[in-house]
Amino acid sequence: MTQFLVTARDGTDADAPARRAAARPAHLASVGRLGGAMIMGGAMLDAAGTAVGSTMVVDFPDRAALDAWIASDPYTAGGVWREVDVALFRIAVERGEPA
């Protein structure tokens, strides 16, 4: 398995928050089906506390498997995520303890 850091930025148009809200229940269900592949994830917030994207650390067999999940996620299908960056990642410290 390979760890990846995924940074997904939402659209910046006026309808972006509504798209996120509409797709959120299906997105959370999609994440739930990942089981242990989702190491951590959450929303990126702007200064006002509004979600403007997502950041995740995930564990997939390879980049192709990760890309398939991203393509199938409701935030992608619903036009929420407009820019997705992926980097190889290795957890070095977890909750203050070396991994």
Q: Which of 13, 29, 20, 12 is nearest to 72 (CA)?
A: 29
Does pLDDT of 93 surpass 90? no
**pTM, full prediction:** 0.90
In this predicted structure, what is the pLDDT of residue 10?
A: 98
In this predicted structure, what is the pLDDT of residue 36?
A: 86
Q: Which two tokens stand for residue 17?
A: 């928050």
In this predicted structure, what is the pLDDT of residue 99?
A: 62
Query: For residue 83, what are the domain limits?
Result: 2-98
Q: State how far the alpha carbon of 58 is from the alpha carbons of 3, 25, 94, 98, in Å.
A: 6, 20, 14, 18
Does pLDDT of 68 surpass 70? yes
CATH number of the domain where residue 23 is located:
3.30.70.1060
- The total number of structural domains in the chain stands at 1
Q: Which two tokens stand for residue 12?
A: 């910046």
Q: For residue range 20-62, what is the model confidence (pLDDT) as tens digits?
A: 999 999 999 999 999 889 999 999 999 999 999 999 999 999 9
In this predicted structure, what is the pLDDT of residue 15?
A: 96
Quote the CA–CA distance of 97 and 85 in Å, as a whole number. 27
